[in-house]
Structures are given as structure tokens and as C-alpha cells.
Amino acid sequence: MASSQQDEDWQSTKAIVLERSCHMFNNPLMSDIEFTCDGSERKIVAHKYVLATSSSVFYKMFYGKLPETKPCVHLDDINAEDLEEFIRFIYTDECNLTTHNAMSVLYLAKKYIVSSLVQKCIKFLEANLAAENAFTVVQQAIRYIEEDLEKKSWDLIELHTYEAVTSDAFTSIDQETLAKLLKRESLNVKEVDLFNAVLKWSEAECSRKGTEANTKNKRTVLGNAIYQIRFASMTLQEFAWNTADSDLLTADEMIFFYQNFSGVERVSEVWNMSERKAKKETFLRCSRFAGHGSFVFDECKPLAHAISVSFSKPVKIHGVRLLGEAGKKYDVRLEVYSQIIENKFRSHEDSPGMSGVDDSPGMSGFDVMLNQSLSQCSCSFQSHHKCQEPSYDLPRIGWLKDCRNEWCYYKVLRCSRAKTWANVCGTRSISSNYFQYSYLT
């Protein structure tokens, strides 16, 4: 099939197998199979042997009892660009994942049973999970039975429901995913806003089915999911101004809820009359140190300190804890990007284990929280603080153990959630112990 006009001695320039395999990616030299996709005239060349060694599906396709004999395989369920990234991974162990192609590449990895690529795609999706794509991710996680990814997606949706249901991705979900959303008891959105989003979804679903977006058709596409909308938790004004104009409820249903608003206690075997509870953000702490004892505080001089932190996934950074002698007051100036916090703080001792080190004793200090949380994967802190009440008694002498036993680099060993890590780089000063963050969408 393929003809070569390349240097016949290229092999000697590739020291390892991976380099030689990378050289052969999308290379017509010795290729014996081509792929085409709908909507593109591109032909992606490959080698049956390489594909078969990475995928049992390809092995059966090319070397099974009924092998594919055609020189070109046409795929109508994927585009050429995503297929190229999939094949790139087979040849190079790398691929260029983006928020636009990760789902398609995951689909191919599942279809052809390339487990290592499946895990790579899932890790990428977890790290890039956001309100704007959460419904796309959760729907695919349900489809591919990726329970961990599904749970993380729902957790994010519950925390940032309004942003998620007002995204373009929401109007594209199927009815099954919509029903699962409406059944959830913890959603951080006003019920009237959720209703309007569901109404918009029903109109989009009618359009996909090629039917008119009238009351009957919208009720049909919603199915029983409509009974999970908590109309009873709306205010009378919200209900009157939104549901009446939508024509989504029948006259009897409108009367039922109006009676409920007027104080007549109504019970329904069909409608969910309970009120949802908004899910609140939980602050998490990462410790800079693996362990500690007592410390020496030179309180006669101001402590100047700088520290940088980076996370393995997007988070909101809320503040940092500075060390100080328990009970003493400190003048503090903290700089984080454009934010400057200047205030007086009293140091106190944490409860055991609060420093992020299991079973550790309390560490004295104080939290300096930002006026507005930062949505970052990394940031830098600069702090200056001086004790207002210096003690000239003999200071306690103790120890502080960093995680790498190196003065310039620290890696957080323990966080409050698994599979999240943070790197912390700072000076030798022990004036900053840990920082507070929460997961970001």
C-alpha cells in the first residue's frame, strides 16, 4: 500500500522503541490500513500490528477468524481530529486532550478497550470539571458506568447548580439525566430558576425531536420528571409570574398549588412537596509541614515571608494561616495578587489534627482570610507580621519537619480529600503553616 521516499537509515537515529513508534505515527511507511470519517476527506494511515498490540478489538478486527480485508475502514461515529488523537496515543502514549475532544477520545478508548487511555481521559475530565461542562461529563459518566466520575460531577452540580443549569450543556442532556437532577434533594439554586431552566430544556428537546414546542409536547418530553419540580417551595409571586405564563401546568394543578400557598395544607401522591436544601462549600486545609513540635518566635523583629502554592486541580483559595505564639496579637499585612489585607490578629492554638497532620498536636497561629476567594491552580502569598505584645521570656525551642527535608521545597502529604495534592514552595521561615481552599468548578 505504502511507498517510502524516506531515509532508509532513520532507525539508527531513534534510540528507544518509543521514539521509533512515534516516528511511525500517521506515517505511510509500511502502513497497511487507512481510516476515514464522515465530513472529512482526510485519510489517517496506521499499521495493523501496532493497533492490534494495544487493543483486543483491533486484534480481532485484523487478525481474528473473520479479519477485515479492505484497505480502508470508514468510521461514521467520530470525526477525523478526535480519531487522530486516539491513534496518536496508541503510538506515542500521549495525546492532546482538550475540553472539546476528551469525551470523544474517551468514547473511542472505551469502544476499542484501550484502558490506559480511558484512565487518562477520566483524569483529564476530573481535573477540568466545571459548571459549564458538568452535565456533558455526568451524562457520559452514566453512559460508560464511570461511577467515581459521575459522583464528582453530581457533587459539583449540587454545589454550583445555577451556573450548571444555565449553561449550554444543560439543554443538551437527555430526559434520564434531567430526571436524576430533579430528584436530588441538595441543589444550590432557587426553584423558580430551576423551573425556567427545565422549561428551556423542554423547548430544546422538542426541537431535537422535530415537534412543536407546545404545552402537550413539552409535558410529553418531560415525562414524570416534572413531578420532581418543587413548586411548593417557590414564593407565591414566583409561582404566579413564571408558571402561569408557561402554560405547563393544567388548571387543576395551578389551583392545587394556589391553595397550598393560601395556607391550605395539601398532600400529593404525585408532586414532590419537599423543599431542597442548598449544598454549602466545605473549606479544606492543606498543611505545609509533615510534622511539628514547639517553635522559636523572634518577636522583636517583623517576620517577612513569601510562599507559593499550586494544585493538581482548580480550586478556590480562601486564605492562609500564619504562625504565632498563642494568645499574642499581631499586626499583619498579607499580599495576594491585587488583594492586600492589613489587620490585627490574635494567635490561638488549633485543635489536635487541624494542621493537616493526623494526630498532630495543635499549632498556634491565626487565619488570614481573603476578602474575595481566588479561583486558581496556583498563587503566591507575601506576608509581614509583628507581635504587638513581645515576650522576652526564654522562648520555646522545638522542631519543624518538612516533607522533603529540604529548605526550599515542600509537598503537602495529606489533604482532606483524596487524589488532590498541592506543591508549596517557600523560604526557610516557619511563619506560614497551611492554607485553606475549596474545590472550584
Domains along the chain with CATH numbers: 10-128 (3.30.710.10), 167-262 (1.25.40), 284-346+361-440 (2.60.120)
Per residue of the chain (441 residues), give pLDDT as tens. Answer: 444 445 678 888 888 888 888 888 888 989 899 999 998 889 999 999 999 999 999 999 999 988 888 999 999 999 999 999 999 999 999 999 998 899 999 999 999 999 999 999 998 998 888 889 999 999 999 988 899 999 999 999 998 899 999 999 999 999 999 999 999 999 999 999 999 999 999 999 999 999 999 999 999 999 999 999 999 999 999 999 998 888 899 999 999 999 989 888 888 899 999 998 877 666 666 666 555 444 444 444 555 666 666 666 666 777 777 777 777 887 877 777 667 777 777 877 765 544 444 444 556 777 777 776 666 555 555 555 555 554 433 333 333 333 332 222 222 222 333 333 344 443 333 334 445 555 443
Other C-beta atoms closer than 10 Å to the C-beta of 121 total 29
> Would the pTM count as exceeding 0.85?
no
Q: Rounded CA gap, 193 and 187, in Å? A: 11
pLDDT at 153: 93
Gap between the Cα atoms of 293 and 401, Å rounded: 9
What letter represents residue 98's amino acid? T
Say if CB 306 and CB 323 are below 8 A apart.
no
Largest CA distance in the chain: 88
CB–CB of 316/440 below 8 Å? yes
Could you tell me if 438 and 284 are in contact, meaning their C-beta atoms sit under 8 angstroms apart? yes
The confidence score (pLDDT) of residue 15 equals: 83
Nearest to 305 by CA among 406, 382, 387: 382
How many CB atoms within 10 Å of residue 64?
A: 13
CA distances from 189 to 152, 222, 248, 282 (A): 18, 20, 20, 17
Q: What is the pLDDT of residue 399?
A: 32
- Location of C-alpha cell 495493523: 48
How far apart (Å, rounded) are the C-alpha atoms in residues 227 and 291? 53
Tell me, what's the pLDDT at 312? 62
Residue 376, pLDDT score: 53
Q: What is the pLDDT of residue 355?
A: 45
Q: Which amino acid is at 33?
A: I
Neighbour tally for 323: CB within 10 Å: 23
For the stretch 258-263, contacts whose Cβ atoms lie closer than 8 Å and that sit 24 or more positions apart, written own/partner, are: 260/232, 261/236
- What's the grid cell of residue 101? 475532544
**Please, which residues have CB within 8 angstroms of residue 79's CB and are 6 or more apart in sequence?**
37, 38, 39, 40, 104
- Residue 394 C-alpha from the chain's centroid: 49
Report helix, strand or coil for 29. Answer: coil
Burial class of residue 159 (count of CB atoms within 10 Å of its CB; 0-12, 13-18, 19+): buried
